[in-house]
Structure 1
């Protein structure tokens, strides 16, 4: 685990206005909130980085007895299934409250995975993908519409077994079915009478 100072807030997450922040009802110490966030993040992924505006000592641990920072935001970055993910929170006026909120969110998400609906969790994490800063993002290019065989990477006269295998391989590669893949598969199924 690494802690990062100053706060590295993800560009794709909007900030909470200070006047809109509300105290939580979390009944934990700041140290416990930090430790539990770290534990939940490490159970969820690898290479965990917790970023706040709390000043750090040379050993990477926070200074004790320092004044609380004006910006209570917390951003947690980690790798999950080869994808960098970021969860950020600044809904509460204290750093430890935002740490606790993220920790409890990760705990609930791990529950989803344990309860056998990990596909839902994978879909949820697609929304938490850590995007690069806006100045490093490439412009969005909308591809031209394709035929089902172009999308699936097969010839128009491919057998149903080949089409089915290509679809399955692309879904596994993408980490789930996309709208384009599913639409192409449905079009192929209709055309091939399957």
Structure 2
């Protein structure tokens, strides 16, 4: 189950290394409403309703400008889970507004193209899922939403002390740890 808080970023989508100030003139509440309206309109226009919407971010009560402003909108459409993640901008409101524009672009494709065209472009929004039974790297390494490379390496070394077969662990546990480290570094753009 995808969580609304903290940010649940899909595997296979690299994180932004730098962020820019968005030129959108909207509040967080306005951007949330725009995304909600666009999702519902997209479902209506496509003839396949959008369901199971989860807006995932690090925004919490009293914290509208978290250190990690990324936003991932998870939903089901056309029989598959989709995710539109954006962390290009320095505020959650700007990232949400960008997601609104991505959705509006899909609605434009529907008006001027075909449902087949939209299905093809939406294939890019199907998140890479861990192999069945494989835990996400954040869970394996015990790290939060946006760790630095040094934190990944530190967590890896500390866990390897107990997971390695020579230290009483197992080959399976060490393989899971190695895969988690590789996935983490790849996602943050250092792999």
The TM-score range, normalised by the shorter chain, is 0.5 to 0.7
2:43 is the alignment partner of 1:41:
no
Tell me the CA shift for residue 110 of structure 1. Answer: 1.1
User: Does the Cα contact within 8 Å between 1:42 and 1:48 map onto a contact in 2?
Assistant: no
* Aligned match for 1:25, one of 23, 26, 29: 23
- Kindly indicate whether structure 1 or structure 2 has the higher relative contact order, using CA contacts under 8 Å at least 6 residues apart: 2
- Cα distance in 2 for residues equivalent to 1:134 and 1:93: 32
Partner of 2:99: 102
Task: Give 5+ residue unaligned stretches, structure 1.
Answer: 56-62, 138-194
| Secondary structure in 1 matching 2:103 | helix
Aligned-CA RMSD value: 2.0
After superposition, what is the alpha-carbon deviation per residue over 1:119-141, rounded to whole angstroms, capped at 9, x for unaligned? 2111011111122136756xxxx
Q: Deviations over 1:54-112 (max 9, x none)?
A: 11xxxxxxx3x435210001001111110111110000010110000001110111111
TM-score by length of 2: 0.61
Give the greater-gyration-radius structure (CA). Answer: 1
TM-score by length of structure 1 reads: 0.60
Q: Aligned residue pairs: how many?
A: 126
Structure 2 residues not aligned, in runs of 5+: 43-49, 135-191
SS for the counterpart of 1:42 is helix
